[in-house]
Amino acid sequence: MNKKIAIITGASSGFGLLTTLELAKKDYFVIATMRNLEKQIDLISQATKLDLQQNIKVQQLDVTDQSSIHSFQLFLKEINRVDLLI
């Protein structure tokens, strides 16, 4: 992948959601993490309106849940690099 890769924590609302959209506009591939995947609807809706959905991948991550952390680690091994973490 030629795009820079960013991981945004708390991407379901507020600063995390806005940062995800802004980085996607700047042609980053954004891994948008959130504890509750049911909350991804707002992010996906806004990204689709802006035609940015191809630059965003939503991943579940709850740092208080060891299983969630392990699953995210496995996902990151496939990515192979991260250019920005917020």
pLDDT tens-digit map of 9-48: 999 999 999 999 999 999 999 999 999 999 999 999 999 9
- Chosen CATH of 5-85 out of 3.90.1150.10, 3.40.50.800, 3.30.2290.10, 3.40.50.720: 3.40.50.720
Whether the per-residue pLDDT at 80 is higher than 90: the answer is no
What phi and psi, each to the nearest 5 degrees, are found at residue 51?
A: 55, 45
On whether the CB atoms of residues 11 and 33 are closer than 8 A, the answer is yes
Q: Using only C-alpha atoms, what is the Rg of the chain?
A: 12
Query: Has this prediction a pTM greater than 0.85?
Result: yes
pLDDT at 2 over 90: no
- What crossing angle do the helices spanning 40-49 and 14-25 adopt, rounded to 10°? 30
For the chain, the structural domain boundaries read 5-85
- For the chain, percent of residues with pLDDT exceeding 90: 93
